[in-house]
Amino acid sequence: MTRLQLLSRRIPPRVMSGFTRWFFQRLSLRNIDRSRWVRLPVALAAVAVVVQLGPTPRASAQEEASSDSAKTATSGLVDDAALGQGLGGNDTVAEKAPSAGPPADDVLRPSSLAGGSYAERQRATLEMWRKRTRSREAVQDAARNSDPEVAERAEWILRQWRSGALPGTGQMPVGSGQTADEPSALAAVLEQGMFDAVLVAVEESAGTIEFDQIKSRVAQFLTERFPMYVNQALAEGTEPDLLRLLDAVAVDHHLAIARIDLMRMLEIPVDAENRLPSASSSWSQDEKQATLAILASLRGDESEALQTAAKLSDPKWLRTARSLFGRWDLIAEQSAAESDRLESQSDAEAIDRRIDWCAWSLAAAHRLDDQSLRKRAIECLMESHPSESEDTTRLRWRSLAVHGEVDLAIEILARTDRATAAKVAAAASRYDRAVELAGYPLDQVDTDLDRWIEQAFDAQTALSLGQLAPEIERLYALARILIQVGDLDNARRIYQQLTPREIIVESNSVTLRDKTLAELVSANQLDWLIELAVAPEETSVGARTRSIVAWGLNSQFDTVTTLLDRIRIVLPKESFRDRFRIVCQLLRGEPSESLRDPDDFEHLFDLLASHPRVSRAGGRIVQTETVLLDLDMIDVFSQQGQFDLARRGLQILARDGDLDAQLRLVETEMRRGDDASASMLCDQAMEAASVFGQTQTRITVDHGLAYAKTIAIKWMLARRAGDHEAAERWKRRIRFMFASPSLTFRKDLAEYLSEGEQDELAAEALRDLTVLLAFDNEDEAGFFFAATALGSVIDRLAESNLEVSGTVGISPEQAARRTGVAVLRILKPDRYPDTAYISLPLSLLKGELTRAIDRRDAAEVKRAIAAIENFDPVNIDFAESLLPKLRKAGMKEIADQAFDRLMDRGIEHTDRFGTDATSLNNLAWTAAMNERRLEEALRLSERAVFLEPDSVVYRDTLAEVLFLLGEPGQALAIESACLLDEPDEWHLHQQIQKYQAKLDAGENEVDAAGQP
């Protein structure tokens, strides 16, 4: 064996990187001066230390800038420890043992990497690495040197810079397992808050093939862990470094806007010169203009936003900008022009685009009250095309529906899907049309329903596997109609008959029972869902059935499956069907007669908290304990009154590192009023949420949301404690975190704040988020959610008599405009129920009516009421809450007329459908709230109670009507009986107090009248 082979064996493969590999690949080169390599083993060992970057403490952030004062490494042979300290920027060793080598300026020359002794070359390498500002050009030149040692030393220096390894960054997070040669080492440097070092890495990679990859990786880390980074920057005063890094790696408009938000928070002026990041030099012209259009929209600069958007090649950008500023006149012109341009083209894509513009023409006409434009748009949307896509068909009828042309929308839908058209008609209280489309006369249901079901099965049998007969679809529509008119018995018969598992009606082996269960979820008939999911003789249930039930109960598939398995052990004598019912009752928060014993709950908890699992490892059988609990199961115990078990479960999950459980524990302590414990637990959760490990170098799924929630909780706690200074500090951090490039993070944190009734901060975030999502054509659902959330938050702020526009920078009218635009963006996707395109515009109209009442705008009030009546002639919701408000605003005549129209139509409906207890009760309650036509209300309410005598809600309505008719004694007796059935219902206690007070007042009046 040769000496060189012996030498190679001394070096483990894991350190055979970079310089080491280069050396062994080049042993055959004849021009190497071998006198330089006499100390080969030591040299290679030193290189190994250099490559692995041992842990070291962080040095001063000013070290590089003051490089002239930096100390040098020891002279002679550089040992491992000295190298490790040098890499960390720790110059204490150099101070103790100053070098007697050449002057510093000589060390920074490329020739110093080749000349002199080995120790001097090592010293020169480290000095050039340390003093990047002065040595950068020399190192770049040296990397192209013909001398292989010089070139390799220079390449090593460049690699360190490109990985962010500068003096002071040698300390890697424990357990990260990263080395300087790996791109993910940049994440480790970011975790230290060394944004300047990462910026160096980005700058040094410019011009290399790794440049785009490094920028993308840094951009990804900034997007996924921005809350932690910005919080660290605020704590250490390195916000400018973070800003410069964002400027350098802004690969898209999300990061560019985060940069502008950060500048705004730091009160750095933004002008035309610095509006775009330096990284935008590599963007296309469209990318630049798109970013400028978004930024102008965010700051409310209508003129610049529209002018900039007009320069983009995609006209949808201009349309979006105009819609945000309410320029429907310009949208009308643009839509007409685009529609005319595409009219002569007959290909499918052109047809789809033309229909899209026609839909926006209708939207503009609706808002401008332009009847001529409206007529042309309707004509365009009514015209069907054989080659149009399903999305375009949905767009045509839904556009008509949301703009009040409900009957025309039903007509279009009926051409291709009569069953769905019937459901939409029923949702809009057009029952005659719904029955006609379903094809089953209501007056024949009692006698012919079984025959219709049999005929539907015959039609289904004639179809190929995986198809659903239209007759069955229409039976589902009939069932939905029957539910809405109060014929629940026949509706249930339909669903009960359509449950065979052996009939496959869709691809992926979807059975008829699964289809029926999904229909029940859509119809919100959860009792029937639970009853029909499992037949009496069945001993198991399929995965799809469990999934549908979980969806209906707002739970998770795994939760249903796990509870079902554990309940089998707790209640072994119960049948499978009964166990399934018990699980569903638990998930709904309902008491179960079969599971009432505290010992049973304790047993169930133990089974979930410690589940033995057997596995094989290395030929051995290993048994481990697995926790099956999740937060849904914790909720089950809470809803069943098992609060101690719920708390123990949270503690178990928290100890296992479940961040959501840790946060839930914090919130629990806050509700209990123990703010000290809440603060301590919050600190622990904050630390856990910020932990950086191997998985975070790849992806941080929640984009730092859990960490941000802890900051929000600290803010809430400071406010509760009256510590205004601390509260302002935490609030400032939250605002900085909202600069995140992740729109998902912004949306989720805004939702969390809104749920915690922190409406001002939530409104600020949603105000900007709705603009950003409006320009994101890929996230229509996100835009819709953010816009509706913004509307709700703004309405709550307005109800608290807060001057919303001055506080959060957006008025209720502007927020409503964005919600309206968001609705236009969800007309194509097939992810919302078809009946939502009746309920959504109704909700928007109620908002319009509320704002019109607040403004005392009688004309707008009449218009909004007329539009509501057009959508749903017997809509009761607005009459219950808004008509009393209308009277208080001084528009009694308008309110009385609207109420009378509703009552007349409602009574006509209940006379026709006498078993519709829901409508009977709702009309009676609406009359009570308006204190009008109370004798008729009494008749309606008594009929509802007769149909469903066990309903506490219906009896409560009857009590209120009697009270208003001057019968407080009867009202009190009925309400007291209701309280026996629902002792925890606070509304009943309030009503009893009111009725008792009236009785007492009446007795006092009688006593006073009887005195001489």
Domain boundaries defined on the chain: 1-171, 327-416
> CA-to-CA distance for 689 and 625, rounded, in angstroms?
25
The reported pLDDT for the residue numbered 1008 is 58
Quote the pLDDT of residue 683. 95
pLDDT tens track for 949-998: 999 999 999 999 999 999 999 999 999 999 999 998 999 999 999 999 99
611 by Cβ neighbours in 10 Å (0-12 / 13-18 / 19+) ranks as middle
Q: Is the dihedral of CA 72, 77, 82, 84 positive or negative?
A: positive
Q: How would you class 138 by CB atoms within 10 Å of its CB: exposed for 0-12, middle for 13-18, buried for 19 or more? A: buried
997 Cβ partners below 8 Å, 6+ apart?
Answer: none
- Contact between 350 and 389 under an 8 Å Cβ cutoff? The reply is no
| Residue 833, SS3 per DSSP | coil
SS3 721: coil
Q: Which residue spans within 397-530 are E strands per DSSP?
A: 504-506, 510-511
pTM of the predicted structure, to 2 decimals: 0.81
3-state DSSP percent of the chain in helix, strand and coil, to 5: 70, 0, 30
The answer to whether 988 and 997 are in contact (CB under 8 A) is: no
Cβ-based neighbour number of residue 615 at 10 Å: 9
Q: Block means of pLDDT (10 residues each) for the chain, length 1012 residues?
A: 39 40 38 36 34 33 34 31 37 35 54 72 73 74 79 78 64 38 68 86 81 90 94 94 96 96 96 94 95 96 96 94 96 93 87 94 96 96 89 95 97 96 96 96 95 96 91 97 95 96 88 96 96 94 95 94 94 95 94 90 92 63 74 92 93 91 93 93 93 58 89 95 95 96 95 91 95 90 93 87 74 92 92 93 94 94 96 92 94 96 96 94 96 96 96 96 95 94 91 92 61 55
pLDDT value of residue 874: 92
Tokens of 707: 């960490």
Please compute, for residue 969, the number of CA atoms within 13 A of its CA located in the half-sphere on the CB side: 2
Contact in structure between 822 and 843 (CB atoms under 8 Å): no
**Closest residue by Cα to residue 427 from 792, 834, 828, 972:** 834
DSSP state, residue 595 = B
DSSP classification of residue 311: T
Distance in angstroms (rounded) separating the CA atoms of residues 841 and 869 = 12
pLDDT of residue 260: 97
- pLDDT value for 147: 79
Residue bearing tokens 């638990």: 586
* Helix locations, 830-933, DSSP H: 836-855, 858-871, 877-888, 892-912, 917-930
**How high is the pLDDT of residue 332?**
96
Three-state SS at 613: strand
Q: What is the DSSP string of 946-968?
A: HH-TT-HHHHHHHHHHHHHTT-H
- Is residue 313 a contact partner of residue 286, using CB atoms and an 8 Å limit? yes
Q: Determine the pLDDT at residue 197.
A: 83
Cα 138 to the center of its chain, rounded Å: 50
| 609 neighbors 649 (Cβ within 8 angstroms) | yes
Q: Which amino acid is at 60?
A: S
Cα(172)–Cα(104) distance, rounded to whole angstroms?
29
At CA 157, angle to CA 154 and CA 158, rounded to 5? 90
Give 511-540 pLDDT, tens digit per residue: 999 999 999 999 999 999 999 999 999 999
Please say whether the beta carbons of 767 and 746 come within 8 A.
no
Radius of gyration of the chain (CA): 36
Q: Show the tokens assigned to 201.
A: 């890495």
Q: Which of 838, 784, 846 is nearest to 405 (CA)?
A: 838
Angstrom distance (rounded) from CA 895 to CA 26:
94
| Residue of 406, 401, 310 whose CA lies nearest to 359 | 401
CA 1012/CA 95 separation, integer angstroms: 109
- What separation, in Å, do the N-terminal and C-terminal C-alpha atoms of the chain show? 131
Angstrom distance (rounded) from CA 626 to CA 354: 57
The pLDDT assigned to 37 comes to 35
Q: Report yes or no: 819 and 852 within 8 Å, Cβ to Cβ.
A: no
